[in-house]
Amino acid sequence: MNSIWKLFYDSGKPHEEILPDEWSKLEGMDRMVVIRCFRPDKLIPAVQDFVVANKGQAYIEPPNFDLAGTYNDSNCCSPLIFVLSPGTDPTAGLLKFADDLNMGGNKTQTISLGQGQGPIASDMIDKAIRKGTWVVLQNCHLATSWMPALERICEETIVPGNTHRSFRLWLTSYPSPHFPVSILQNGLKMTNEPPKGLRANLLSSYVSHPISDPDFFECCTKPVYWQKFLFGLSFFHALVQERRNFGPLGWNIPYEFNESDLKISMRQIQMFLDDYDEVQLEALTYLTGECNYGGRVTDDKDRRLLMSLLSIFYSRDLVEKDCYELCEGGLYYVPAHSPHQEYVKYLRKLPICADPCVFGLHSNADITKDNQETNQLLNGVLLTLPRQTSGGGKSPQQVVEELAEDILSKLPQNFDLQEVVEKYPVKYEESMNTVLRQEIIRFNRLIIVVRVSMVNICKALRGQIVMSSELEDVYNSMLVGKIPTIWAAKSYPSLKPFGSYVADLFARLDFLQKWIDNDAPTTFWISGFYFPQSFLTGVAQNFARKYQIPIDFLGFEYEAMDEKPEDGAYVTGLFIEGARWDRENMVIGESLPKILFDPLPIMKLKPGEMAQFKHEDIYVCPVYKTSARRGTLSTTGHSTNYVMSIELPSDKPQKHWINRGVACLCQLDD
């Protein structure tokens, strides 16, 4: 790479740099295209600069939440819609506002929608229309089947002449494709996003009820312990919310932790400190981690992370030390016992943008977060992309047809299952034959779907058959570089764009064909399996049958070696995220700057009895099929994206890597 371009690539703020050489003449959208290619993580600030330059600063700053102003703009026939975001609940503020307007008590009725609540909500609205009271329908996104009925009520019942002037219909809902468009068009929409950033989140907790109330802040019989735990819990609450911004690196599933979790945990701390002479750390840890916050957590790896983060704050060191540090550097700590205003003063001195190390993450996590925001922006732009072009160049129809023909020319024929069965018959001592056959059956189904869809899309573009909605989805997906829905339904999990997915599919088919032609490989490409779990089961079965050991007693040990194993198997194709493989010391180590993923060396899966494993100086690292990590919760209690956990040697405590969000992936998104 040219040294000038390398300086641009390594810059902390490339969107503010002058492009090298003649590229410096580029402006506006053209300049953003270059930034997107070289530093996609900084596209968002580049877009913000573009908007400010062309429209003004006001277009990138969210307006202040003004409930009174919105109400004044409304009328009895216009629903007022709260668009919810994680971590916010406008109900308390709305009820207080109702009290201020003398609409509290029986004049405001609230109901949380869900199964069977629709008819009750209809009766509430009918009565309120006549009496001139308010109705608050919460969580409309949970009542998708009743939304058409609500649409009819808004169009036919809540009309001028039939509605009391004081009546108001308030709705709360997360963004949902099932929310009626007509209600959105006729209603007043508002959102109150939670404070962004660790500092803002902490300040929000300390300047609002109940911590801001002196009667609450000073109410405990053990004030020193009470205020330490209060600060630690508030910090923990901000931490678990802000980790959502880092995507799967922060949480496998983005949970909606909110103020109720924080408040009930505060009350429990107060109660336990008042009622017991000793600090009941174990009980508080269980109530806060397993019940209050943990009650929302469905993924077992997320639960492990939650308890690891909580152990930072619910610890003996916090109780015993005057100034307990929360991360390296000395900037973040639990202040010594002091008045409320001193805590607020300390929080105001914290940096607006927190370093990822505060969350237990590597500095590279900021790149992951920024890339995620860029992808969300571009995916939104793709939804508005016009399908027609004018002027020179190929038309979209020509592009799709040529692409389909190219895929058809390279797509191999279906595997001959009968030939494979004859060459690799079912054997008691060789389970890999069964694994191969199962993989071939799965890939044959996918090959058929790909071939038929490509043949039919070509015919539809030539006018030989009707363009169905299914084919139209294939057409649109190919244009914007996404995997068609009908492919995904028969495919292994993948987040790759269309071109990379096709190349990956051909590589997998080639892997299986070489296995068929040349016998089982010395090293298995674990990422190439449609269902990697069946391969792991096959390896364990071979060992169990050879040594007459019940398979339920078996597990795997992992080590990097280079000779053919007598038992077990070699696997390759795994990538580690959140850390790297230290090839000198043969342990996992910290990521290198700007390198988000690191390939693991060839690993030997050594089956053995779990009772004999040492489990010392290791990190139990989960392996996922894709970087999304989350999937459907299966009957095993694991996500369907989860493959297995491998024990990687480590010279740091396991808690360090848990907080880093370290995991192995079978494939990358690119």
161-201 per-position pLDDT tens digit = 889 999 999 999 988 888 999 999 999 999 877 778 899 89
Q: What is the predicted pLDDT for the residue at 635?
A: 56
Average pLDDT over residues 18-44: 91
Q: What is the predicted pLDDT for the residue at 258?
A: 84
Average pLDDT over residues 506-532: 94
Reported residue count of the chain is: 670
Confidence class for position 260, pLDDT limits 50, 70, 90: confident
Are 247 and 280 in contact by the 8 Å Cβ rule? The answer is no
% of the chain residues with pLDDT over 70: 95
Q: What is the predicted pLDDT for the residue at 543?
A: 87
Longest dimension (CA), the chain: 85
Q: Which of 78, 85, 226 is nearest to 158 (CA)?
A: 78
Average pLDDT over residues 502-516: 96
Do the strands 134-138 and 333-334 form a parallel or antiparallel pair, or are they unpaired?
A: unpaired
CA distances to 22, 336, 583, 610 from 557, rounded to whole Å, are 55, 46, 19, 9
Are 478 and 404 in contact by the 8 Å Cβ rule? The answer is yes
Cis? peptide before 210, omega within 30° of 0: yes
Asked whether residue 322 carries a pLDDT value surpassing 90, the answer given is: no
The first and second tokens of residue 169, run together, are 């219909």
Q: Which CATH superfamily is domain 198-363 in?
A: Region D6 of dynein motor (1.10.8.720)
Instruction: Give the lowest-confidence range in 245-249, 285-289, 305-309.
Output: 245-249
208-244 per-position pLDDT tens digit = 888 988 989 988 999 999 999 999 999 999 999 999 9
Q: Which CATH superfamily is domain 523-669 in?
A: Dynein motor C sequence, barrel region (3.10.490.20)
Q: What is the predicted pLDDT for the residue at 329?
A: 82
Q: Which helix (H) or strand (E) holds 605?
A: strand 603-609
Confidence class for position 88, pLDDT limits 50, 70, 90: confident
What average pLDDT is seen over the chain? Answer: 90
- Amino acid 315 reads S
Q: Which of 670, 555, 528, 668 is nearest to 612 (CA)?
A: 555
Beta bridge partners of 357: none
DSSP 42-63: GHHHHHHHHHHHHT-GGGGSPP
Q: Which of 444, 623, 402 is nearest to 526 (CA)?
A: 623
Q: Which pTM was predicted?
A: 0.84
Beta bridge partners of 168: 134
Asked whether residue 19 carries a pLDDT value surpassing 70, the answer given is: yes
Matching residue, tokens 């192995």: 664
331-364 per-position pLDDT tens digit = 999 998 889 999 999 999 999 888 899 999 999 9
Confidence class for position 572, pLDDT limits 50, 70, 90: very high
Q: What is the predicted pLDDT for the residue at 509?
A: 97
Q: What is the predicted pLDDT for the residue at 44?
A: 92
The first and second tokens of residue 625, run together, are 């099929």
Q: Which of 451, 447, 444, 453 is nearest to 484 (CA)?
A: 453
Instruction: Give the lowest-confidence range in 272-276, 317-321, 661-665.
Output: 317-321
Average pLDDT over residues 11-26: 88
Interacting residues of 100 by C-beta distance below 8 A, sequence separation 6+? none
Asked whether residue 297 carries a pLDDT value surpassing 90, the answer given is: yes
User: What is the residue extent of each domain of the chain?
Assistant: 3-59, 67-192, 198-363, 393-521, 523-669
The first and second tokens of residue 228, run together, are 């330490």
Matching residue, tokens 């191969």: 436
DSSP 91-156: HHHHHHHHHHTT--GGGEEEEE--TT-HHHHHHHHHHHHHHT-EEEEE-GGG-GGGHHHHHHIIII
In the chain, what are the helix, strand and coil shares in percent, each to the nearest 5?
50, 10, 35
Q: What is the predicted pLDDT for the residue at 365?
A: 93
549-562 per-position pLDDT tens digit = 888 888 777 776 54
% of the chain residues with pLDDT over 90: 64
397-408 per-position pLDDT tens digit = 999 999 999 999
Q: Which CATH superfamily is domain 67-192 in?
A: P-loop containing nucleotide triphosphate hydrolases (3.40.50.300)
Asked whether residue 563 carries a pLDDT value surpassing 60, the answer given is: no
DSSP 384-438: T--S---SSS--HHHHHHHHHHHHHHHPPPPP-HHHHHHHS--BTTBTHHHHHHH
